[in-house]
Structure 1
């Protein structure tokens, strides 16, 4: 009898152990099924500078791999085209007016719940390397090494859990080294992971690596059609784009006497007038002063270079300085604009060449280590950027080049390779997409939509017909007026407010360069009324309002006082 009891006890113990083992194996199997997520983001990377979108300026074969192996979104946009607010929207899945990070100056409310926190709680290992742009201790990450603020291109300082550290080298290469080292040596291979791989480049002041500035400073790039835009947006009689003859029909909106866009005309981001020769085009301060040119001086952009790096830089850029000094006395405004544009493109695109190379390094690592098949890889930017269109650099506007952002996603065996998606998506959607892919419920307060229906061929479940935008940082750098608006596939309506009260309406299909404000055009009266109504409905849907506008203005003015 005692032996029988021992047998039963042994059997019960063996059954329990077997059950626990099965549960553990099931759990491990489920963990392995959950996709890894690699979120690649650059800073100010214009879609025009990715050859999957256009090869007029540069070839980016490694970023293009994502389009070839997955999906390219041709109608992706941001909710607020400025660095830190864009990142806050991505992390929280909430518009700026709800997450509180309306501009680069305001503090990020750390009571916001972010999608990395949720994934971490759900069993994901999480890591962030590169540029966050706000906060020194990002919540929800097992490991991080982030640049303070904007960070530096050469020999950058990083904030880590163990304190600050300076790493010698070029920032884009270093961020990739840190990323691959974590993948290789630090990640828990039994857990799914979220990896945020965030580049500083191609943010101003555009310092390329030596291997690229030697090449790109010799290149010449085609001029944008609108480089010399004079910001006339309401056409004189007989020159209206929508019909051969200008109609004299009256409507409820009186045409302003000024046919130019006040907002576009007053912005301080024109390459000729506002691009700084020292900081931006890399002229030496002594050369600028000797030529009698007066401008803001933001300091030496090469100050973090070591003597060897600086000597290599000078061998290429000193001749550029000398050539400019010789030509400048004979230059008119058109000549100077063209010269500045070429210098801008040479350095801006040179930094992107490094980004593309390093994206290739990460993709190769995933392929070579059997990680690709179960990994979602996203490449995007925190917003779009002007590459001379309308004479501009920078971003901030709801106009196309800054509103629209690159977005490429691959997920083998889930996303059909080589497709282009025209549906309207936003950076607001990333949080819910990643949570959905991981099988985790998103908080109710998130305002985006999971992109999974578009990624997995269930497009009939996608029902968005408009996207919302709101920009707040004014008065401030670049003097872009406060404005909000919506875009549909066919039209875009923008309301500029605060110190002006002006409306703009663009026909996105027939006027892709947004040169004709048809808000006052009687031929578009029905469209105008439809878009105003839809704007009001969308504001309400996303819980934005005139009351909030006034609150944020008061906060700004109180700080100013």
Structure 2
């Protein structure tokens, strides 16, 4: 008999689990899981964030090289659909609300059957006309602000219908998954994807779990800022505490799934995978959340557990490098189903017993932002060498975003592209990218970390040979994935010419010159970052008069407050929020 369960969570930071050494979060069932399975230490994301990661779980290919957030494409070969065609019943149980929004609406229908649990993170679930008032201020675009206000308003409405723990979407999701297991535990050939939205924000947690962390009656709405840490330590502790309380709730229901495995002795014939799409920053590197900042390991290096009924090893760690695109190949291999030639993920099964490697490198990133690579020892972050989104495109036949269709304005300039080696002869739409995240994503620069010696990524290092090797393998992996030609130029690469040491040395000379351009001024380091960012903005828009005024101000030294005042005094009002947000990022950048 062959059965498999993939128990998946969203935004699970492995550093908050006792199975990975955390002493401050109460997670006894993750510890119990560790003892019954193999725990991976070098498991990485691929494409970020939520739905790009889920496309990879279907296709076993990187999403982020060709497009941003979107649905399954007509030409995509889907793992659960392949299993379904092989006579394996595939069932999805989830409260992940992105599956029923415009940007994810084709994933669930690849399964034989599926169940949705409503109510998470602003899901348009309960209809109340007289809505609560939500105030939300930020330097984001008006579209983003209104989307967040709408989500927070709907969440306040939804939570009125989930006051008891039994009504919480996490509980309902796990219970429906257990119902499927109990109904079919004697049957053969099925795969259950039991997918929970928690511990994704908002951190909506029943009181009993908050009490475990002394958080009763704390004034926190559950929404951590996707921003730099500006709160005092006591407030940071509250935000982290709510996340930890929610992880403890998650742990409680992991235990219930393990109880069902014990009750029916599913360990005899059922594979179990427990995973997440990505992690979450909880104040590390002075950031909250994901999406904006570099892909530090708190986001990119994720928890992963696997139990295989035919492999005797359990309660062991695996050092082999793996990532999300390897999961569909593993499941297809387990069920003896054909693995499509275009699936670039590798089955983990051959390496499980002896911890033998299945891949040398893992590529990961957001569309158009830093492109990252790891070999398990080093992580190299490669920024675009150009500013903005000019020359960057979405390649798709499904032009939708996270929660809406592309607008007519966004579709202006669309061309028909001949397609790629994985589009099965289909031409695709080539649409100029307008993602907010990719705007000015060059600001973080290139970074190299030795994550074995510096697992917290505190100190970037300079090793020309290592950087050259990793950058060359970024280039080779882009070629292997048939990345769009213009993407090579975006990252300072040539599709036809290998990276060499001279290029690395020249880049470091240029970066060094840029970093020291303001050394003659009496500026604090944080203000220097802010000034460099503002100068970059000024230079790209050829605002020579404002540049001269700013440099004159620098001769008198400059504080953070004075730099903000300079923006207010010298730029149009409609640019103030954007510029202050941009400069604030740099002045707190670590």
Q: 2:91 aligns with which of 122, 127, 130?
A: 127
1:468 aligns with 2:468: no
Q: 2:28 aligns with which of 61, 86, 104?
A: 61
1:237-276 residue pairs with structure 2 within 5 A? none
Q: 2:71–2:105: 8 Å Cα contact kept in structure 1?
A: no
Residue 536 of structure 1 corresponds to 475
CA distance in 1, matches of 2:230, 2:282: 17
Residue 347 of structure 1 corresponds to 242
CA distance in 2, matches of 1:365, 1:155: 30
1:503 aligns with 2:446: yes
Q: 1:174 aligns with which of 172, 175, 188?
A: 172
CA distance in 1, matches of 2:280, 2:126: 24
Residue 339 of structure 2 corresponds to 442
Distance 1:196 1:450, change over 3 A: same
Residue 36 of structure 1 corresponds to 3
- Deviation digits for residues 417-451 of structure 1, max 9, x if unmatched? 11111111000100000000111110011010000
- Deviation digits for residues 402-422 of structure 1, max 9, x if unmatched? 110100111234140111111
CA distance in 2, matches of 1:395, 1:63: 24
1:94-105 residue pairs with structure 2 within 5 A? 94-97=61-64, 102-103=68-69
1:118 aligns with 2:115: no
Q: 2:281–2:289: 8 Å Cα contact kept in structure 1?
A: yes
Residue 145 of structure 1 corresponds to 115
CA distance in 2, matches of 1:85, 1:53: 26
**How far has the Cα of 1:179 moved from its partner?**
1.0
Residue 222 of structure 1 corresponds to none
**How far has the Cα of 1:369 moved from its partner?**
1.6
Secondary structure at the residue paired with 1:439?
Answer: coil
Secondary structure at the residue paired with 1:41?
Answer: strand
CA distance in 1, matches of 2:301, 2:126: 30
CA distance in 1, matches of 2:282, 2:202: 14
**How far has the Cα of 1:150 moved from its partner?**
5.1
Q: 2:43–2:321: 8 Å Cα contact kept in structure 1?
A: yes
TM-score by length of 2: 0.60
Secondary structure at the residue paired with 2:282?
Answer: coil
CA distance in 1, matches of 2:177, 2:119: 19
CA distance in 1, matches of 2:126, 2:173: 10
Residue 147 of structure 2 corresponds to none
CA distance in 2, matches of 1:335, 1:385: 17
Unaligned runs of 5+ in 1: 1-31, 158-165, 220-275, 282-294, 297-332, 474-481, 553-561
CA distance in 2, matches of 1:119, 1:371: 20
Q: 2:321–2:358: 8 Å Cα contact kept in structure 1?
A: no
Residue 370 of structure 1 corresponds to 265
Residue 44 of structure 2 corresponds to 77
Residue 204 of structure 1 corresponds to 201
User: Is 391-400 or 144-153 further displaced after alignment?
Assistant: 144-153
Q: 1:155–1:169: 8 Å Cα contact kept in structure 2?
A: no
- Deviation digits for residues 87-119 of structure 1, max 9, x if unmatched? 111121111047x6523xx34425422111111
Q: 1:426–1:467: 8 Å Cα contact kept in structure 2?
A: yes
Higher relative contact order (CA 8 A, sep 6+): 1
Residue 553 of structure 2 corresponds to none
1:145-544 residue pairs with structure 2 within 5 A? 145-147=115-117, 151=121, 169-185=167-183, 187=184, 189-218=186-215, 278=221, 280=223, 336-396=231-291, 397-457=294-354, 459-460=355-356, 462-472=357-367, 482-497=369-384, 498-499=386-387, 500=442, 502-518=445-461, 521=462, 524-544=463-483
Q: Let me know the Cα RMSD of the aligned residues.
A: 3.1
CA distance in 1, matches of 2:83, 2:342: 16
Secondary structure at the residue paired with 2:371?
Answer: strand
**How far has the Cα of 1:485 moved from its partner?**
2.1
CA distance in 2, matches of 1:338, 1:551: 39
TM-score by length of 1: 0.63
- Deviation digits for residues 495-547 of structure 1, max 9, x if unmatched? 111423732222222322223233xx4xx222222222222222222322552
Secondary structure at the residue paired with 1:350?
Answer: helix
- Deviation digits for residues 283-313 of structure 1, max 9, x if unmatched? xxxxxxxxxxxx99xxxxxxxxxxxxxxxxx
CA distance in 2, matches of 1:87, 1:334: 29
CA distance in 2, matches of 1:130, 1:550: 40
Secondary structure at the residue paired with 1:52?
Answer: helix
Secondary structure at the residue paired with 2:30?
Answer: helix
CA distance in 2, matches of 1:542, 1:127: 30
**How far has the Cα of 1:278 moved from its partner?**
4.7
CA distance in 1, matches of 2:220, 2:210: 17
Unaligned runs of 5+ in 2: 128-160, 388-441, 492-590
- Deviation digits for residues 335-355 of structure 1, max 9, x if unmatched? 942122111122111111121
> For this pair of structures, how many residues does the alignment match?
388
